[in-house]
Amino acid sequence: MINIIQWSTKIIERWFVSAENRIFKIHLFYMALKIVDHGSPEYQKMVRLREDVLRRPLGLTLEEDELDTERPHVHIGAFEEDILLGCCMLVRENDETVRLRQMSVMDNIQGKGVGRALMNFAENIARDQGYKQLIMHARKHAIGFYEKMGYQVTSTEFTEVSIPHVVMEKPLN
């Protein structure tokens, strides 16, 4: 697979004082979003980030056999130069539906737009590949983020990897 950079944004950290003497901090950095080859050094960075953000807090690890099954999936990374800021994966469910998995953003930059950029990029890739719907098993604490992105809860709560999840869906018009 060819690494494709299709979208980027500029975010740089600056402090400033408003007219009301309030201090604000703006986070700005250059972020490139791209498709990452399975097994590449960038993919290994994705595995480490997923371990740090998603698995280790639950006392879990990613096993080699699980990683081997990821070969056919679309791996997406958000990078600032060589630093991986966030990542996710698209997994084919059927001809019309793709599933988002393993959405991860570095803890210290969550809430700064990286997740939103990853979601928009993933949705565009899914549309380009002809999918009509994106689904996911969303962690309960992330439901609000995905609802802001236009996703709807379509299941009752269930437990996956020892924590509450729901199925969320969005048509890709």
| pLDDT at position 3 over 70 | no
Reference 98, options 77, 123, 81; nearest CA is: 123
Strand bridging mode 133-139 / 97-105:
parallel
| pLDDT at position 6 over 60 | no
> What pLDDT is stored for residue 21 in this prediction?
57
Contact 69/101 with Cβ under 8 angstroms?
no
Rounded to the nearest 10°, the torsion over CA 83, 75, 165, 158 is: -150
- Which of 1-5, 21-25, 159-163 ranks highest by mean pLDDT? 159-163
Residue position matching structure tokens 């993919």: 43
| pLDDT at position 20 over 80 | no
In this structure, what CATH number is given to the domain that contains residue 91? 3.40.630.30
d(CA 173, CA 30): 29
Half-sphere exposure for 168 (CA within 13 Å, toward CB)? 21
Q: How many domains does the chain have?
A: 1
> What pLDDT is stored for residue 12 in this prediction?
42
Contact 52/86 with Cβ under 8 angstroms?
no
Q: What is the pLDDT of residues 112-140, one digit of tens each?
A: 889 999 999 999 999 999 999 999 999 99
Of 120 and 30, more confident: 120
The residue ranges of DSSP E strands in the chain, in sequence order, are 5-10, 14-17, 23-26, 30-36, 74-80, 83-92, 97-105, 133-139, 152-153, 158-160, 163-171
d(CA 74, CA 68): 13
Range of the domain at 63: 5-171
